[in-house]
């Protein structure tokens, strides 16, 4: 009698699902739902005609693009308009944008799919299936979010399809009007023309085009592009230069009041009591509001007829605080906890090949190198102060806010005011910097709660810089340990890396959606486990240490510090192997031609460092883009001075090279501020830093020359807003080592 065949766990699980499992698998095989037409018609004005959920055309031929991503200085409105203008065959001068939110076709699919913890070199079926299913779930969730350097990547297909579909509809409408064949017509610069010489503007054809049913939709081939790939000027540049651009803080609805707030001075502290009577008689003061809410920072706000009046009264308001459980918290205690967890816990292994432990203890290892690196908490410090204007009246809510997550803001405002989401009207504006801070909606909750006490008057809540600095959702602090083994020829055989930090996703899910995060969090180990270096024996793990300090997404997220750890340690290994950084990396990238091309281009742009200077190299992939940087540094009066940074970037198809260069320059300045000065420290449960006097950013006279080289590529576009940040700190640190022989393993980089 034969043995019964054993069922695999996968067969058992799917079999147990029965009919529901079959339906789920069947649903999973279907492509994600369309992103062309919204559930509700695109709002139009003054005779405009909407041809789909993205494009409306006015009678004069002006094209309005539904803008579903936030402009916070990264140039995304220009890039997305270019995608539509290219496929629709209109000049950029005939394109404008209108903010939209709410419909699920505007959700961000790419950012969620990019959050899967798979290695970039993984080509297995599990990764493909998980990616496919995530895209489908993301389409159903429809979370509208600007972040993860995903805007162009996510919009590349749907916006081009929207433009191409609208163009095909206009061609059909023109052919019917002239009673000619469609293939005898063509589009150019906002007009449809016929071989006979007939010509009609898009505005003339739009009303009939709505009824058109094109047989086929063709996207342009790269060789047909007239706009994509060109360094066009940004469409928001003039308004931001002449002061006409409107940011969230510029909102001024009729009858507006102002609110200044004070939040708990200790992390997790609570308002114990306050004496409103001391300030209610002061000039202009109308209310004092305790806006403390569950699972949020506790605090008090003073409402007045001017912000100055509100600030003056707030300074005079007596408030007693309960310091709470974190009154003794310190930076030193946090890092001690990290070290203890690294000593005692194995962590989650994100990537493993070969046998690291056996190899490191084997006879083939001629040299073993160990190192420990650390990075501090960092604030976002965006130039536009945290603010939100809110009005609660007659069961309706209006909010004016600079945000990266309009849907989350609407849902939270509805929850606080106890109204339906459809009764919340969100007024979008430009963002004066985001960097991940405006993925949070705490300012919306506070403004709405305060507005509920102002008898229908709109109220503008403005945080002081001190409140912003001491109540941020900080970039996590982290500690990383490395151990590696080289053979007698200097070849890297074994590589072990374990790090510890808080988990952003765990906290963010609780704040944004009200449910606790659990399990691994890719952001903790990204930039470490997904490195391209080909090491036969490697293990990369991370230990999550729950953070009492609020943490959130910061420009380039985990890559921001993990690239520093990894690229500095790789430089240490190159030095131990008696090789330069280029040669050592090249031998670890034999199966990675794109990375090698970036290295080669970087080497080709380098010149000999000036007298008293040295150069450092770093190479890092993040958000789908590969960036190599060389920093040239000197030491002046005991301080690190960066003179020049060469950036080579492979980001796939370069939609607008001008914007890519701007983003590299922005990333260098942002990252250099953090590398040389950035540090949020905790003492007695409080944030020590308070303003730009003790949380310094780079000054004009310290900004280096930045040269950007873009690798030509026919691959789909990848991220660009964040990938320039991670390589900067290690490039500078490696240059300092080349110059001084000192290995700086802690951020910010200090020589004393």
Q: What is the CATH number of domain 331-378+474-740?
A: 3.30.365.10
Q: Specify the domain boundaries for CATH 3.30.365.10 within the chain.
A: 49-242, 251-322+386-462, 331-378+474-740
- pLDDT exceeds 50 at position 13: no
Q: Do 107 and 138 meet the contact criterion of CB atoms below 8 Å apart?
A: yes
Q: At what angle do helices 202-209 and 151-178 cross, to 10 degrees?
A: 90
Instruction: Report the candidate in 296, 377, 339 with the shortest Cα–Cα distance to residue 545.
Output: 339
Average pLDDT over residues 4-28: 45
State the distance between the two ends of the chain, measured CA to CA, in whole angstroms. 78
**Regarding beta strands 639-650 and 705-710, do their DSSP bridges make them parallel or antiparallel, or are they unpaired?**
parallel
Report the distance separating Cα 744 and Cα 733, nearest Å.
Answer: 6
Q: What is the CATH number of domain 49-242?
A: 3.30.365.10
Contacts of 555 (CB under 8 A, 6+ apart): 380, 435, 436, 667, 670, 721, 722, 725
640: pLDDT confidence band, cut at 50, 70 and 90? Answer: very high
Choice between 437 and 518, residue whose per-residue pLDDT is larger: 437
CA distances from 650 to 318, 671, 733 (A): 56, 19, 23
Report the distance separating Cα 347 and Cα 745, nearest Å.
Answer: 22
Average pLDDT over residues 58-64: 98
The pLDDT, as a whole number, for residue 562 is 98
The DSSP code sequence of 437-448 is GGG--HHHHHHH
The pLDDT, as a whole number, for residue 12 is 36
Q: At what angle do helices 125-141 and 9-29 cross, to 10 degrees?
A: 50
Average pLDDT over residues 63-79: 98
Report the distance separating Cα 572 and Cα 372, nearest Å.
Answer: 12
C-beta neighbour count of 278 within 10 angstroms: 13
Q: At what angle do helices 657-676 and 559-576 cross, to 10 degrees?
A: 80
Residue 84: HSE in the Cβ half-sphere, 13 Å Cα cutoff: 30
Burial class (CB in 10 A: 0-12, 13-18, 19+), 54: buried
C-beta neighbour count of 169 within 10 angstroms: 23
Report the distance separating Cα 701 and Cα 658, nearest Å.
Answer: 23
Tokens of 634: 């000197």
- pLDDT exceeds 90 at position 384: yes
- pLDDT exceeds 80 at position 574: yes
Instruction: Report the candidate in 639, 745, 743 with the shortest Cα–Cα distance to residue 696.
Output: 639
Average pLDDT over residues 470-482: 98
- pLDDT exceeds 60 at position 401: yes
How confident is the model over 88-146, as pLDDT tens digits?
999 999 999 999 999 999 999 999 999 999 999 999 999 999 999 999 999 999 999 99
Tokens of 575: 């030095």
Tokens of 80: 């997305």
Three-state DSSP class for residue 170:
helix
Mean pLDDT of the chain: 95
Q: What is the CATH number of domain 251-322+386-462?
A: 3.30.365.10
How confident is the model over 603-616, as pLDDT tens digits?
999 999 999 999 99
How confident is the model over 663-703, as pLDDT tens digits?
999 999 999 999 999 999 999 999 999 999 999 999 999 99
């Amino acid at each position: 009698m034969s043995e019964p065949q054993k069922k695999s766990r996968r067969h058992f699980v799917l079999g147990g699902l029965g009919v529901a499992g079959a339906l789920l698998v069947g649903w999973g095989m279907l492509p994600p739902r369309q992103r062309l037409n919204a559930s509700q018609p695109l709002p139009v004005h003054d005779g405009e005609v909407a041809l789909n959920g993205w494009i409306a055309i006015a009678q004069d031929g002006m094209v309005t693009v539904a803008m579903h991503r936030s402009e916070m200085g990264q140039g995304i409105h220009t890039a997305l308009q270019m995608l539509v203008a290219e496929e629709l065959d209109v000049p950029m001068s005939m394109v404008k944008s209108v903010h939209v939110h709410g419909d699920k076709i505007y959700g961000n699919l790419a950012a969620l799919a990019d959050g899967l913890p798979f290695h970039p070199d993984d080509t297995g079926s599990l990764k493909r299936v998980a990616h496919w299913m995530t895209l489908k779930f993301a389409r159903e969730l429809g979370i509208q979010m600007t972040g993860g350097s995903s805007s162009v990547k996510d919009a590349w297909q749907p916006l081009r399809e929207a433009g191409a579909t609208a163009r095909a509809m206009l061609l059909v409408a023109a052919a019917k009007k002239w009673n000619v064949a469609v293939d005898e017509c063509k589009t150019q610069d906002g007009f449809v023309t016929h071989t006979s010489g007939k010509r009609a503007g898009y505005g003339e054809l739009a009303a009939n085009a709505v009824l058109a049913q094109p047989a086929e939709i063709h996207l342009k081939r790269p060789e047909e592009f007239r706009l994509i790939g060109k360094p066009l000027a940004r469409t928001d540049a003039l308004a931001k230069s002449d002061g006409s651009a409107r940011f969230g803080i510029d909102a001024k609805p009729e009858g507006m009041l102002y609110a200044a707030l004070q939040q708990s001075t200790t992390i997790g502290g609570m308002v114990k009591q306050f004496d409103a009577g001391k300030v209610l008689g002061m000039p202009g003061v109308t209310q004092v509001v305790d806006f403390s809410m569950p699972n949020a920072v506790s605090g008090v706000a003073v409402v007045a007829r001017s912000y100055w009046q509100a600030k003056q009264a707030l300074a005079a308001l007596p408030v007693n605080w309960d310091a709470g459980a974190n009154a003794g918290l310190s930076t030193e205690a946090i890092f001690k906890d990290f070290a203890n967890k690294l000593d005692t816990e194995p962590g989650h292994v994100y990537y493993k090949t070969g046998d690291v432990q056996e190899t490191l203890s084997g006879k083939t290892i001629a040299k073993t190198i160990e190192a420990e690196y650390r990075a501090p908490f960092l604030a976002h410090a965006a130039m536009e102060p945290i603010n939100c204007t809110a009005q609660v009246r007659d069961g309706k809510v209006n909010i004016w806010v600079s945000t990266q997550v309009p849907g989350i803001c609407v849902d939270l405002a509805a929850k606080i005011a106890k109204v339906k989401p459809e009764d919340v009207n969100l007024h979008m504006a430009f963002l004066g910097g985001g960097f991940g801070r405006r993925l949070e909606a705490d300012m919306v909750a506070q403004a709405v709660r305060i507005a509920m006490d102002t008898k229908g008057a709109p109220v503008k809540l403005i945080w002081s810089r001190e409140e912003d600095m001491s109540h941020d959702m900080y970039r996590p602090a982290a500690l990383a340990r490395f151990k590696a083994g080289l053979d007698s020829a200097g070849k890297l055989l074994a590589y072990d890396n374990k790090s510890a930090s808080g988990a952003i996703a765990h906290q963010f899910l609780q704040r944004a959606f009200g449910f606790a995060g659990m399990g691994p969090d890719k952001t903790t180990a990204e930039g470490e486990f997904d490195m391209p270096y080909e090491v036969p024996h490697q293990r990369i793990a991370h230990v999550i240490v729950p953070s009492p300090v609020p943490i959130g997404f910061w420009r380039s997220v985990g890559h921001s510090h993990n690239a520093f750890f990894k690229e500095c340690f790789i430089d240490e290994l190159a030095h131990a192997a008696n090789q330069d950084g280029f040669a050592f990396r090249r031998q670890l990238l034999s199966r990675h031609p794109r990375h090698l091309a970036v290295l080669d281009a970087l080497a080709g742009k380098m010149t000999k460092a000036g007298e008293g200077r040295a150069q450092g190299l770093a190479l890092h992939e993040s958000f789908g883009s590969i960036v190599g940087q060389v920093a040239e540094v000197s030491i002046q009066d005991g301080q690190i001075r960066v003179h020049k940074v060469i950036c080579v970037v492979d980001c796939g198809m370069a939609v607008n090279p001008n914007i890519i260069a701007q983003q590299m320059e922005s990333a260098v300045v942002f990252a250099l501020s953090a590398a040389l000065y950035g540090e949020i420290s905790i003492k007695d449960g409080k944030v020590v830093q308070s303003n730009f006097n003790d949380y310094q950013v780079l000054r004009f006279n310290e900004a280096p020359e930045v040269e950007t080289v873009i690798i030509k590529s026919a691959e789909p576009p990848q991220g660009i807003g964040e990938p320039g940040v991670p390589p900067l700190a290690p490039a500078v640190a490696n240059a300092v080592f080349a110059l001084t022989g000192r290995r700086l393993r802690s951020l910010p980089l200090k020589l004393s």
